[in-house]
Structure 1
Amino acid sequence: MASLKRMSKKELKLTMEALTEPPLKIIVGGQDKQTFFVNKEVICSFSDFFAAACKKEWACGRANTVTLAEENPETFAIFVSWVLTKSLESAATLQSLPSREDDFHGKDGRRSAIKRGVQLVECLGISESLLCHEFHNAVMDELLTFMDILSDAKESFVICLPQVVKMIYNVSPAGSKLRRLLLDASLWMTIEALNYWLIDHQSDYPREYINDVLSDTFGRLKRHGDCAPRPFTRFACNYHKHPDQPDSYTCTGINMTT
C-alpha cells in the first residue's frame, strides 16, 4: 500500500495501487454488526487510527480487515459518508430536521431533534476513537448550527437532556471540547431551566456533570460576574481541534457571529 501520510481531501491523490487493490473490510458493531468496504488509502488519509491499524505489523493490517465492535454502524456510516464527500448531509443515516420552525414543537419534530442531537454526539465520540480531528471539527460546526436552529425554535434544551448528557460524558474525556460546549450551553440556560433539569431531575444526570456545572458557574461568576454567552454565537473554532497546525494557521470553520 502507498504511504499513509495524512492529507486533506483537496490534497489527496490516489495511487494506481489504491485504485486497484481490494478495499479495506471494516466490521462494525456487536450483535447487529455491519460490514463496510472502503478504499484503504482514502480512509487512512483521514484517520490516524486506521493509518496505524492498516500497517503490516498488525494482524488486522495483514488481513486487510479491521473490527470496531464497540461502534454503532449507523454512526460509522455517517463517518464514511463524510470521508467520501466531506458532507454530513450526504449520509442517509443522519436524522433530518423538520423544515419549518413550528414543526419542532410536535412530538415527531421533538423526537427528530433529539435523535439528530444524539447522532451528532455519537459522531464526536467516533471522531475521538478514530483519531480524526477534521471530522470532529465538521461535526462540531454542524452541532453549533443545530443548536442555533433549536434556539430559534425555543427548543435549546435538547443538548441538556439527561440521555444526551450521559452520552456526552460517556464518549468524551474531561476537558474535551464537547464537554466545554455542553457546559457553555448549560450555563446559558435560564435559572428556571437549570432548576428543572439539575434540581428537580438531578438523579437523572451523571454526578460528574452536576459537579462540573456548579464548579463552572461559580468560577465564571467570580471572574466575570455573569455566566455564559450562547455557545452558538461564538466562533466555532473555540470548539475545534487543530493539533497538527502551525501557530500561523487560520481556522476556516464557521463564524456563528455573522
Structure 2
Amino acid sequence: MSATSRKRQAKVQDSVPPPAKRPRGTAMSTHRRTRFNSLFTVLAGEEEVQFVLHRQILCEKSEFFATAWKQYQEEGGEKRVFVPYIKPDAFELYVHWVYSDKVDLSLVPLASPRGENYRFDDRGSRIQNFQHLIELYVAGDEFENVTLQNMVIDELAAMADAWDDHDLRIQPDHIEYVWEETSPGDRLRTLILDNIAATQDPGSLVCFKFKTAQAGHDFWYDLANHQTTIREQYVEVYTLSWERRCAYHIHYSDEDHLVCAGENQRLEQVEARRGSTVMRGSTVMTDSTRPVTIEVEA
C-alpha cells in the first residue's frame, strides 16, 4: 500500500464540519459519540489513495460498506476496504456526496482541484466533466447508491441543456469505460446511445476507435439495436409502403397528386379552392417550377 501524507488524511477528515461546542459539564449523547468516534479506511484506485471516513455515516449511506463493516466484525482484520476499480477522483466526489448530499466537480482532479476556477459552462471542460461524472455514476452503482446515480444523470442533463447542440462530447474512452463497468441495459448506456443518435451523424462515428475489442463490439451492437428500436417507434411514418409512396413523389399538379394518392373524389374540392394546400407531405410543382407542399383537409 502506498503511503499517504498526513495532509491528505486531514483533508478528508476536515471535510466534516466540527460539532457545535457543548456547555461545560454536559455530555455528548451516546448516539453522537458512536456516530463520529469510529473510523473506516478506504483505499481507492490501483494507487491505493487513502480516505479515512466516519464509519457510521459511510455505512448509513451505502449497503456495500455496511456489509464490509459487518464482515470485519465477524472475521476481524483491518478496518479498511480496497476498491481498486474506483478511481481516486471519483471517490473524492463520492466522499463529498456522502457528507453533503451534493455533487461538486470543483473538487477534482485531486492533483489540482479547480476550486473557484471551476465553471459549469466552460466548453473546454465538457469532456473532462463528463468523464468525472460517469466515474462517479459507476461508484454509485458499485456502492449501491441509486440516489447518487440519479443525481449524476441530473447533472448530465443540466450539462446538455447548457449547450445549444446538447452534445456532451462523448469520446471513445467514455464509451469504453461505461460499457466495461456497467451491465447491459444500464440507464447510463441508454443515455449515451440516445445522445449519440441525436447529436452525431454516422460519418462522425468513423473516428471512434476502441482500445478493447469487446467493448467496441458490444457498443456497436447496442447502437445498432437502439437505432432499430427508434425506427420501430415511428415505423408508420418512415416505412415505405404503397399507401405512402406519394410522399416520395414530385408532382406538377394537384390532380396528379390526388390521383396518385387515391383521392379522386376530392378533385372538385381542389378545383374550387385553387391556390390552397393539399395532402400533407407531398411535393407539387407550380408554374414557377418551385416545389411546394400541398395539403387536403381531412
Partner of 2:42: 26
Would you say the 8 A contact 2:60–2:66 is kept in 1?
Answer: yes
Partner of 1:84: 99
Partner of 2:133: 120
Q: What secondary structure, in the 3-state scheme, does the structure 1 residue paired with 2:185 have?
A: coil
The CA deviation at 1:189 is 2.1
Would you say the 8 A contact 1:47–1:132 is kept in 2?
Answer: yes
Distance in 1, Cα, partners of 2:209 & 2:148: 33
Distance in 2, Cα, partners of 1:17 & 1:39: 11
Q: Select 1:147's aligned residue among 160, 174, 178.
A: 160
Larger radius of gyration: 2
Q: How many residues align?
A: 200
Q: TM-score, normalised by structure 1?
A: 0.68
Instruction: Give the RMSD, CA atoms, in angstroms.
Output: 2.9
Change over 3 Å in CA distance of 1:100–1:58 after alignment to 2: closer
How is 1:159-238 mapped onto 2 (pairs within 5 angstroms)? 159=170, 161-190=171-200, 193-197=201-205, 200-204=206-210, 206-225=216-235
Which structure would you say has the larger RCO, counting Cα contacts within 8 Å and 6 or more residues apart? 1
Q: What secondary structure, in the 3-state scheme, does the structure 2 residue paired with 1:168 have?
A: helix
Change over 3 Å in CA distance of 1:209–1:39 after alignment to 2: same
Counting aligned pairs with the same residue, the percent is 19
Would you say the 8 A contact 1:186–1:194 is kept in 2?
Answer: no
The CA deviation at 1:170 is 1.5
Change over 3 Å in CA distance of 1:85–1:91 after alignment to 2: farther
- Which structure 2 segments of 5+ residues have no match? 1-28, 239-298
Q: Which amino acid aligns with 2:189?
A: R
The CA deviation at 1:203 is 4.2
Change over 3 Å in CA distance of 1:78–1:91 after alignment to 2: farther
Distance in 2, Cα, partners of 1:26 & 1:74: 13
Partner of 2:65: 50
The CA deviation at 1:179 is 0.7
Q: What secondary structure, in the 3-state scheme, does the structure 2 residue paired with 1:156 have?
A: coil
Q: Which amino acid aligns with 2:146?
A: H
- Which structure 1 segments of 5+ residues have no match? 1-12, 228-258
Residues 131-175 of structure 1 deviation map (CA, whole Å, 9 limit, x = unaligned)? 1111111111111111222x32x471512x211111111121101
Q: TM-score, normalised by structure 2?
A: 0.59
Partner of 1:158: 169
The CA deviation at 1:36 is 0.9
